[in-house]
Amino acid sequence: MKAIKENKFGMFIHWGIYSQLGLQEQAIARYDMDPAEYEKLAETFNPVKYDPEQWVLLAKNAGMKYICFTTKHHDGFCMWDTKYTDYNIMNTPYGRDVLKELAEACEKHGMLLSLYYSCPDWNYEYGRNPHATHQWKAKEKVDLEKYITYIKNQITELLTGYGKIYTFFWDIPPRIEDRSLNELVRKLQPGIYINNRGFDEGDFSTPERGYKDVGSNRFEQMTEACNAVGEQSWGYRENEDYHSIRYLTMAIDKIMAMGGSYLLNVGPKPDGTIDEKSAAMIRRVGDWYNRMEGCLEETDEDTFSYKIRKYKHLVTKKDGKSYFHFFNGISSSALAFEIYPNVPQSVRLMNTGENLPFAVCKLPEYLDDETGIAKTFLHIQGIPIDELESEPIVVEIKW
């Protein structure tokens, strides 16, 4: 198993001809569209304002280390120059390989590139898989041998023509085991990480949206959680319902403190730009993330049995320091440690970078039940909770 400490913050990008509808990335199925009419969207797709450097710099400035791009979603439209179907970006008014341009921008700015590839394909003649879900708009013919050959041909293009690829993201488990596909991925890209939604178990798990099944304090295997800035769609949606910054930052803090990676998704508009609302949310989340100074990446679990009054928390350690993640926030300007290893050398609030005052003292609110005498705590004060109400609190302690 590969190292669990390989965890990063990244940007997920869902983009395709569906963006022209402003509805959802699965609009053809969710709105029960005629496939023949939907496929005509390729005739009008012309993202003349597409500038992948803007995408990469937005991600980089937010502290993100990689971009995962949807090369082909369920509709089967391919966002690269593939020779195995005419249903691709080269046969649009735009007529340029957007994936190649993104790969070049990533390389230029030191951004890792990951590729998403949908197992369902609603356009390929033999794409129907009777074993899997999300087959609503698949063609009627079934020939899984032909379809797997088609997939192998396409992933060979993707993994040989666009430089070093960081991770490979299959989507929608096919419920068929064929280990030769991931073997091909690893042969073409040695060292790549592969998720668990493909034709075998892969290297990492992929919880999304609500994270109700993420487990205990630390992931036992590599994990990459994902969510979108919008609640209704991963692709561009004109009338989107957006998550709060508080919801997103607290989810990121919890997942990454558990040792996982986190992909935060945006759906670019049909002209190739990221709408200002989504971009502003990325910048706000990135402002919080950058103030964490890397304490969410490549950590170990701090296994000391701390006891802190009132608040749920996770504890990690890195470079000789402990990091206390209050992913649900706190309701007071102070923390009361009842059990701790020793008196700290320093205490710092990562959200502001400022040192916090602390003392070992009696706190009159917490009494010994038998004697009525106040208990002694490590008392950390001065947390500006009202100014930080939209983000999780992270405290660094050097013991």
Rama region for 315: left / alpha / beta (φ>0; ψ in -120 to 50; rest)? beta
List the domains of the chain with CATH numbers. 9-291 (3.20.20.80), 300-398 (2.60.40.1180)
d(CA 233, CA 169): 18
Sign of CA dihedral 322, 12, 21, 210: negative
**Stated pTM of the model:** 0.96
pLDDT at 55 (0 to 100): 98
- Which stretches of the chain are DSSP H helices? 27-30, 35-39, 52-61, 98-108, 144-160, 180-188, 245-257, 276-291
Per-residue pLDDT at 2: 47
**Spatial separation of the C-alpha atoms in residues 352 and 254, rounded to whole Å:** 19
Query: Which amino acid is present at 293?
Result: E
The DSSP 8-state label assigned to residue 8 in this structure reads -
305 contacts: CB under 8 Å, gap ≥ 6: 339
Q: Please give the pLDDT value at position 1.
A: 39
Low-confidence ranges of the chain (pLDDT < 50): 1-3, 213-214
Q: How distant is the alpha carbon of residue 240 from its chain centre?
A: 19
Would you give the DSSP letter of residue 165?
Answer: -
The per-residue pLDDT for 369 is 83
Query: CA-to-CA distance for 80 and 90, rounded, in angstroms?
Result: 7
Strand-strand pairing, 222-228 and 204-205 = parallel
Pairing state of beta strands 358-367 and 374-380? antiparallel
The DSSP string of 66-128 is EEEEEEE-TT--BSS--SS-S-BGGGSSS-S-HHHHHHHHHHHTT-EEEEEEES--SSSTTB-
In the structure encoding, which two tokens stand for residue 261, read together?
Answer: 């990676």
- Reduced to 3 states (helix: H, G, I; strand: E, B; else coil), residue 168 is strand
Q: What residues have CB less than 8 Å from 306, skipping those under 6 apart? A: 315, 324, 337, 339, 340
Contact indicator for 106, 56 with CB cutoff of 8 Å: yes
Q: Which helix (DSSP H) or strand (DSSP E) does residue 13 occupy?
A: strand 9-13
Rounded CA gap, 79 and 59, in Å?
A: 20
